[in-house]
Amino acid sequence: MSRNRRGLLGLLFLAAVYVSLAGFSLRRKSVTVDEFAHLPAGLNLLNSGDTRYCALNPPLMNGLSAIPVWVSGVRADFPKDWPEQVRFENWPNGYVFMNQHRENYQACYLRSRSVTVVVVGLLGLIVFFWGRMLVPDRGNLAGLLAAGLIWFSPNILAHARLVTTDAGTMAFMILATFTLFLFLRAPGWPQALFCGTALGAAQLVKFTAVYLFPSFLVTIVAAWIVRRELRTRGFVIRTAAILATCLLVVNLGYGFQQSMTPLGEIEFTSRPFQSLARAIPHGCPVPFPVDYVLAFDRQLADSEYGDPSYLFGESYFGGRWYYFIAVLAVKMPIPSMILLGLALYAAFKTSTSHWFDTMLILLPAVLVFVTFSFLSNKQLGLRMILPSLGLLSIWTGTTLARFDWPKHMRVVLGIVLAWLAVETIFVYPNYLTYFNQFAGGPGQGHLYALDSNLDWGQDLVMLEEWMKLEGVSRLQLLYFGRVDPEVYGIDYEVPRGSLHPGYLAVSRTLYGRDYLLYDHGQLVPFGPLPRQVLGDMRPIATIGNSIDIYQIGR
């Protein structure tokens, strides 16, 4: 059997395991907090063509995710008489969609989730061939390691099966970086147009992709300085074509709606955009669609304002520079840490001839990590730096493959890789709640981080199964999520005041933050659950590592 065929067979095996883990586990999870809004936004976009329904994110991933639901004939009658400031809001439209499709609500999301599974699956295939190009003498090993570290990361798997933009952002940012690699390898017109298209597509997924612009600029300038053959007018023109193509793709994504609007006619709310508007003449046309600019402006304003956070037992508001370092320390698998450490050792010992590939891959990862750590007050979980994790996986895999390890170290590498694979399979289907052994495992994760790091409202399916198994017909419920639990067949009441005898289910995120609880059509303000309310009680069961069950006595 030829070497290429063995590599492709290995890739197909890894892909089959990934699809199995992602495909089967997504059925075991209820609709999470952000999914609640993303699918209705995508359906609204497909039904109306109005990108204002994607008020917080660009429309590409929402639209792609909604296609399987839309082609199956599912529609929603969204109110047309709502006030302008409410009509395009995510959460009201999410409740409308839920109430109109209670019978097939979960089925709609299962179809929609398949899109993200496919996107991350295709990313793994691209990464495999990229790895082969980066390490041609050990191409199969490099490609399989790079793809495998993405597909078998519990933190990536957690979001690779959800109707959100996080995994899609990672995939499109890595695709854009790969196309830049192809362009710098052979800077022709096809490569330039491919690169510009991928860069524009990434901008249409999430505003995190804006950090590709400084990354691309630095990388291209470094290549121009180092490689004499690139110092031509043709290279400069084709580089400019990348930016022009990107701009064209973004405008196409919005149907050129109100593109080239004078700057003075756009009202900004974020300080960066307000400062920019004061520095530039008001008559200057903005080459992006207005809806794109306003959504970006709103994200910046939200980032300035901040959100509730919880870290290592402390609730607070806003961001902290060490947040993602701390979360990585407890959520990154220990075998992944070991592999990263070995890759750093190999990079230090290897000749500096591969510094450019390292810069191309790691520069956008560092920019995303540093920006969200130091400049954002909105730190909602590891999902925000998912592109950094994906790019780091590629660099780790290819660096390990490139180094000439002694025989005993190859055995060690094999053991560590097997450890990662077994741990990822073992944690199925609870990938969102993954915490490493330093944190005491998934069962202790609530002591360190909450929200999308642990409990994002994903375990109503398993809670309903537990109630059936235990013969519990009704319970008191404090649930962190947007969905009405009755959609999943759960008969519940939200305790207002004192608890009464019976069963109480508590989402672990509510131990550390304020929230609006859904209570049979009403939203009830709820502060963090004080431990003194439960006294010395201990949970009698835990559902999916995210919901604690208590038995309240008389």
The amino acid at 356 = F
pLDDT at 23: 96
pLDDT at 1: 63
pLDDT by residue for the chain (554 residues), tens only, comes to 677 888 899 999 999 999 999 999 999 999 999 999 999 999 999 988 888 888 788 999 999 999 999 999 998 777 777 877 777 888 899 999 999 999 999 999 999 999 999 999 999 999 999 999 999 999 999 999 999 999 999 999 999 999 999 999 999 999 999 999 999 999 999 999 999 999 999 999 999 999 999 999 999 999 999 999 999 999 999 999 999 999 999 999 999 888 889 988 898 999 989 888 888 888 899 999 999 999 999 999 888 888 889 999 899 998 999 999 999 999 999 999 999 999 999 998 886 668 899 999 999 999 999 999 998 888 889 999 999 999 999 999 999 999 999 999 999 999 999 999 999 999 999 999 999 999 999 999 999 999 999 999 999 999 999 999 999 999 999 999 999 999 999 999 999 877 889 999 999 999 988 899 999 999 999 888 776 677 778 999 999 999 999 998 86
Nearest to 39 by CA among 209, 202, 162, 173: 162
Structure-token pair, residue 319: 């961001």
Q: Are 166 and 129 in contact (CB under 8 A)?
A: no
Domain residue spans of the chain: 3-308, 309-433, 457-552
Q: Where does 423-481 show beta strands of DSSP type E?
A: 475-478
pLDDT at 554: 62
Instruction: Give phi and psi for 475, each to the nearest 5.
Output: -150, 165
Report CA 513 to chain centroid distance, whole Å.
22
pLDDT at 532: 62
Cα atoms in the 13 Å half-sphere on the side-chain side of 441: 8
Q: How many CB atoms lie within 10 A of CB 35?
A: 26
333 preceded by a cis bond (ω within 30 of 0): no
User: How many Å apart are CA 445 and CA 464, to the nearest integer?
Assistant: 23
Report pTM. Answer: 0.95
Residues 6+ away with beta carbon under 8 Å from 323: 309, 311, 373, 379
Exposure string (b/e) for 477-507, b if CB count within 10 Å is 16 or more?
bbbbbbbbbebbebebebbeeeeeeebbbbb
pLDDT at 153: 97
The amino acid at 488 = Y
pLDDT at 282: 85
User: How many Å apart are CA 136 and CA 130, to the nearest integer?
Assistant: 10
C-alpha distances out from residue 85 to 82, 88, 291, 292, Å: 8, 7, 14, 17
Nearest to 509 by CA among 454, 430, 432: 454
